[in-house]
Structure 1
């Protein structure tokens, strides 16, 4: 196994489960949102606020498209699937796992959408509209899908490991 790439909606557990998964299987851990913040020297929400959603998506695609990793769990940002070039690159780096949540569960988990740095491409876009737009993209790029509704953290980690054959 080369790498495990986690995709999914904000609050799906990519970073949280990713860290624990990496520790469990002896892999490194990379959070691409933190790479973006480090490169840009700003929080995600500040980049989105100042540069706009489309510029943020461009930055995100460049960072993910240049990512190199070996034996790592990579937690991506929820909007990574807007970057076709980045997704092609990530699929070459490893197995892409979609952490699937229902809209109701995303709404329950996601407390402060603006502060989280969630990319909303249209003014006044609702979380339901964002979910409807992204879910097919997650499904398109996923090599494996883990249904996370009702799973605790350790159950999610076990399900991801099983999905990738670890």
Structure 2
């Protein structure tokens, strides 16, 4: 089995929005591992971070990603930090991975600075910049395809990915 395509990228890259459109175009199911984590935990990601800590969230996330990569046969969207887990990186080697690249200004506009994103609580713009810089080399290394999303409509991004597949 295995996913048709796995979408990775930082918060605000459009993984969920583009993923839903792409899945519809390809006639396959869409799955978001953050939603899987929330279903298992019975609460939103932001509450998991606050109440249980980032380490617990990352444990739940790693298991959700492992299960999804093994069983989902459609478009799979990973949380922005899922790629930090080395076993996840190894699992992704067997899948077609698309990195949705987004610039800081676009990510800030899309994420909003007043959202419930737990890693962006203090000085959100600075935190987002740091997070993006730290993760970019991993995203780039894991990606089979990189698609720039700045200033583009999600439909256009999905079309580019579908054509590349």
Change (3 A) 1:142 1:3: same
Determine the C-alpha separation between the residues in 2 that align with 1:111 and 1:119.
13
Question: Contact 1:95–1:143 at 8 Å: present in 2 too?
Answer: yes
Question: Contact 1:64–1:90 at 8 Å: present in 2 too?
Answer: no
- Which residue pairs with 2:42 in the alignment? 41
TM-score by length of 1: 0.87
- Which residue pairs with 2:89 in the alignment? 87
Alignment length (residue pairs): 161
1:79 is displaced (CA, Å) by 0.8
Give the gaps of 5 or more residues in structure 2.
none
- Which residue pairs with 2:33 in the alignment? 32
Determine the C-alpha separation between the residues in 2 that align with 1:87 and 1:118.
23
Which secondary structure state, in structure 2, belongs to the residue aligned with residue 145 of structure 1?
Answer: strand
Give the gaps of 5 or more residues in structure 1.
none
Question: Contact 2:16–2:77 at 8 Å: present in 1 too?
Answer: yes
Question: Contact 1:79–1:119 at 8 Å: present in 2 too?
Answer: no
Question: Contact 1:27–1:71 at 8 Å: present in 2 too?
Answer: yes
- Which residue pairs with 2:13 in the alignment? 12
Q: Identify, as 1 or 2, the structure richer in helix.
A: 2
Question: Contact 2:3–2:76 at 8 Å: present in 1 too?
Answer: no
TM-score by length of 2: 0.87
Which secondary structure state, in structure 2, belongs to the residue aligned with residue 97 of structure 1?
Answer: strand
